[in-house]
Structure 1
Amino acid sequence: MEKRNNKYKILVEEIELKDGSSTGKNLQVEIVNHDDLFQIIEMAKSKNIFPDEKQATEFALGLKLFTEVVLRNTENPLFDDLKPAIGAFMQKLKRA
């Protein structure tokens, strides 16, 4: 039986660059994740480990996108040094 995943669409829209300009670029990508991203974001916000909810959202989303790629590519030697640290970090985060 095929493992089911949650599906999401992410839109990144360039609003303004640090020099004040904007090219109006945007990127839209569909992703899958084994976790409920909205639930994870709310959990990160509720832990109050960042000064504001925006940072908690950025952190949770970035972490979940990154770790999902690592999980799907566990045999890739690129991640060999990171895997133990990611495991330890995730345990620490869950205890926070």
Structure 2
Amino acid sequence: MDKRSNQYKLELHEVAQKDGTPGSQVIELEFNNHDSIFELLALVQANPRFETPGQDARFLLGLKLFSEVMLNNRRHPLFEEFAPAFTEFMKKYKSFGQQVHS
């Protein structure tokens, strides 16, 4: 494990399909992240950005999974045009909770 990052394991269970059929699939992912995801989850739960319960946690988890892949592949052509906009988005996202709850 890289000493500069935290190590996580995520297990995702398919509970039900949209037609009502019980889900049967499971995927397990191991990944590293430079941030403490649980500390960030506590922060967004204390200072939600979205009105619907649970959306902040889902958004944060997806964002952290995505952004770490992007950071690890920052020179990949896929991210060339997106990276500058993402940097601005992250600044706005980080300050948004402070603005809402100041």
Give the TM-score, by structure 1 length: 0.91
Count the aligned residue pairs: 95
1:1-96 equivalence runs, <5 A? 3-96=3-96
| Identity value in percent | 38
Write out the 4+ residue segments of structure 1 that deviate beyond 4 Å after TM superposition.
none
Give structure 1 stretches of 5+ with no counterpart: none
- The one-letter code sitting in structure 1 at the alignment partner of 2:72 is R
Structure 2 counterpart of 1:16, one-letter code: A
1-structure distance, mates of 2:32, 2:44: 20
| Contact 1:45–1:53 under 8 Å retained in 2 | no
When the two structures are superposed, what TM-score results if normalisation uses the length of structure 2? 0.86
Task: Letter of the 2:90 partner, please give it.
Answer: M
> 1:22-63, CA deviations, whole angstroms, 9 ceiling, x for partnerless residues?
341100011100000011112222222111341110000000
CA distance in 2, matches of 1:26, 1:38: 22
Mean Cα displacement is larger for which, 3-12 or 41-50?
41-50
Quote the Cα distance in structure 2 between the aligned partners of 1:34 and 1:86: 17
